[in-house]
Structure 1
Amino acid sequence: MKAEVRSQKSEVRSEGSFEPKIVGFLCNWCSYAGADKAGTAQSAYPSNINVIRVMCSGRVDPQFVMKAFENGADGVIILACHPGDCHYKEGNYRAVQRYRMLLRLLEQMGIVKERCRFDYVSAGEGDKFVKIITEMVETVRGLGPLKTKTAQTV
């Protein structure tokens, strides 16, 4: 158990450079397939992301995101199907509504909104997946490690 928690924590290399830990919630039908396409194409992208596959982005509860931050994530990304392409009809619309609410909650918790990103990636957009992950890692790297009262220390 300790090894799992430790692996989710931010890493600071001996030379002082910060490597953020990003938790990614990817919808099974589009975004996860887009990540798979990037992998199949052997596209290089940062390994800082821990992917959690969900059946639908509409299933991502704000509590999941808060728990990720609590357990040491420096950033969270939610990737959904494009509007109108959801296998569950309205799941991605629900996800957008929850994301907007989540941003207000994060602000109240003292977490800047740039640490949480929502975007759309379809099954055929492996290059877009790589671009989004790379941008997110660079953004969070620039922000530095997340320091909150709720972050656990190991």
Structure 2
Amino acid sequence: MANEKINNGTGFEPFIVGYLCNWCSYAGADLAGTSRFEYKPNIRVIKVPCSGRVEVLHVLKPLFDGADGVLVSGCHPGDCHYSTGNYYARRRFTVLKEILKAVGMESNRFQMSWVSASEGRKWADVVDEVVEKIKALGPNRMFKDEEQKE
């Protein structure tokens, strides 16, 4: 999965896994595409029913497998299709940042955003911003030494 690092010949390009809420963020990403907004191609999207359904393990697994970053994007607080899903996500992922620090990984490798179905331009901006933040951290080297031993 994360082994397909993006490299356009200019150096490191991060591989980012994105979990997008079906009702808002995925629709916002779709709008960005149909509106032909340009944004960086570094994100691999996984559509989920709600950002509240994304568990901590869903974020940790790609990072431990070598992804450079993970983005979870859902409905704006108060606008969740399932009423409280994004509130659960926000609480859960506040704790996740501490878990990442505890295992020795930069907490900024995880990002969260709120993008509604009508915010295609915002989606494009969020992707570009997240890519730049992850790019500044450099490649995820958490398990690089273990890979070299094999």
Shorter-chain TM-score above 0.5: yes
Give the equivalent residue in structure 2 for 1:106: 100
The structure-2 alpha-carbon separation of the partners of 1:13 and 1:83, relative to structure 1 and needing over 3 Å to count, comes to closer
List aligned pairs for 1:50-61, cutoff 5 A.
50-61=44-55
- Aligned-partner SS, 2:91: helix
Structure 1 segments (4+ residues) deviating >6 Å = none
Cα RMSD (Å) of the superposition?
1.9
Conserved in 2, the CA contact under 8 Å of 1:70 and 1:151? no
Question: Distance in 2 between the 1:5 and 1:142 partners?
Answer: 18
2:35 to 32, 36, 41: 41
Identity %: 45
Give the equivalent residue in structure 2 for 1:80: 74
For 2:14, the aligned partner's letter is: P
Give deviations 1:80-138, integer Å, cap 9, x for gaps.
10111111110000000111010010011111121111110000000110011000111
Give the equivalent residue in structure 1 for 2:110: 116
Question: Distance in 2 between the 1:42 and 1:52 partners?
Answer: 20
Give deviations 1:29-71, integer Å, cap 9, x for gaps.
0000000000000111111000011000000000010001022
Structure 1 residue 78: Cα displacement: 0.7
For 2:93, the aligned partner's letter is: Y
Structure 1 residue 149: Cα displacement: 2.9
The structure-2 alpha-carbon separation of the partners of 1:39 and 1:12, relative to structure 1 and needing over 3 Å to count, comes to closer
1:148 to 128, 142, 146: 142
Q: Are 2:3 and 1:6 equivalent residues in the alignment?
A: yes
For 1:132, the aligned partner's letter is: V
Question: Distance in 1 between the 2:39 and 2:2 partners?
Answer: 23
Question: Distance in 2 between the 1:63 and 1:150 partners?
Answer: 20
Runs of at least 5 residues in structure 1 that lack an aligned partner in the other structure: none
Conserved in 2, the CA contact under 8 Å of 1:28 and 1:54? yes
Structure 1 residue 153: Cα displacement: 4.2
Give the equivalent residue in structure 2 for 1:22: 16
Question: Distance in 1 between the 2:45 and 2:147 partners?
Answer: 22
